[in-house]
Amino acid sequence: MKDLKYLIEFENLLDNADNDLVRQAQKDGQKAIGYTCYHMPEVLLNVDNCFSVRLRAPRSSSIDISTYYMSNYTCEFARTLLERGIEGGYQFLDGIAGVDACGAMNRCYEHMEILKINDKENFFVTHADIPYKIEDYTVRAMTKQMRLRVLDVLEEKCGADTSDDALLKAVEEHNKLCRVMTEIGDMRKKDNPPITGYEFHVLSLVSYCCPTSLILPKLEETLEEIKNRKPDPKPWYRARVAVVGSEVDDLDFTKLIEEAGAFVVADRYCYGSKPGREEIVIDKDKEILPQIVRHYMKTSECARYMSEEKVQQRRKTADYLAREYKADGIIYEQMKFCDFWAFERALASHILQQEYDWPVLSIDRPYNVRSSGQLRTRFQAFVEALEIKRIRKGKGGAA
């Protein structure tokens, strides 16, 4: 297929957290607010003169200093972000909006604040409590947290307008972005799709890491380009897989899977599009903030939600996406030393095999996989197993 017009530009934007579009927005007087978790409603950080930047640490290497502060048995994602902060990689931020999601990330935020990783005069780190289940009273509590710990802070530190009108405007822009990303993502359902999983991963990440107002026109243009793109006569992949699990912002991870012959058709992981790129339905006759909060709580697939209905939701979502996007199997991944997803992956991958009849490859992985020979071998073996299963099924034998 012909290369996408903006692909190299998008890849370059993902090389640094303070990319060209972030710097352009700040030059225009906007404030950059960093965050890491879906529990922190992205749309609230894009209100008025603020814009969200989902934090990453691309091209990272040693994490020795952060390991000294946090130990080797904590999530590499949290340690790598802290290392990048200590190196000065987040000096551009005007604030960080964190949530009480996991112990490792809590320690990361704490050290960023204590070690003063940013010396801007009005730089702030704010932190909100997150419930474990969804009930009317937890929605009310979360709404109060978002008002006190996020919107009031943005108003005080950044001079942001946080009225219902401003929130509604942020939601409308967010929904435009979601419609574009959903339409692009749905093209992966085709037998011979005009986009690869790697390309979609790039588009998805820039939608999180760049100001929406500046990246949206480029994504809209890319959507039209993909609509008219002619795929190669024969599909390039040998198998189709859905990737499910914890945080993935490493493009090399998707590239490694696809180099093994597996087309990543669905991305149900933190920093992916499922959840993250669903429109927020708002009743304008009701208060806006509680509706936003409820949307994020309902759509979240985070393993921190431990109520039985949420556990079942995560399994059903993985099954639904794999079927909807015509996957042959599921790759269930987890960041090393991630407490919540380590428990979830072990049980859910077994249940998806035994009760939902999915071939599942279950792995734990480092934050940056680079060219991991071990993972490459496992991906290749999984693809071959999926091919054998398909051949046997086609011959009428046991699948």
Judge whether 101 lies within some domain. yes
Q: Is residue 371's pLDDT more than 80?
A: no
102-123 pLDDT, tens digit per residue, is 889 999 999 999 999 999 999 9
- HSE of 107, CA atoms in CB hemisphere, 13 A: 18
Q: Please say whether the beta carbons of 259 and 377 come within 8 A.
A: no
Judge whether 49 lies within some domain. yes
Strand 329-335 relative to strand 262-269, pairing: unpaired
Judge whether 85 lies within some domain. yes
Query: Which DSSP letter does residue 361 get?
Result: E
Range of the structural domain that residue 51 is part of = 8-166
What CATH number is attached to the domain comprising 125?
3.40.50.11890
Which residues have CB under 8 Å from 221's CB, separation 6+? 5, 6
Which residue would you say has higher pLDDT here, 396 or 359?
A: 359
Judge whether 26 lies within some domain. yes
At 66, the pLDDT band (50, 70, 90 cuts) reads very high
Q: What is the pLDDT of residue 398?
A: 47
Q: Report CA-CA distances (Å) from 33 to 40, 42, 78, 273.
A: 11, 10, 17, 20
At 394, the pLDDT band (50, 70, 90 cuts) reads confident
Judge whether 368 lies within some domain. no
Q: What integer is the mean pLDDT of 61-80?
A: 93
| Count of domains for the chain | 1
Which residues have CB under 8 Å from 192's CB, separation 6+? 231, 232, 234, 235
5-17 pLDDT, tens digit per residue, is 999 999 999 999 9
Which residues have CB under 8 Å from 217's CB, separation 6+? none
Q: Is the dihedral of CA 81, 86, 91, 95 positive or negative?
A: positive
248-299 pLDDT, tens digit per residue, is 999 999 999 999 999 999 999 999 999 999 999 999 999 999 999 999 999 9
- What is the residue-averaged pLDDT of the chain? 95
Judge whether 227 lies within some domain. no
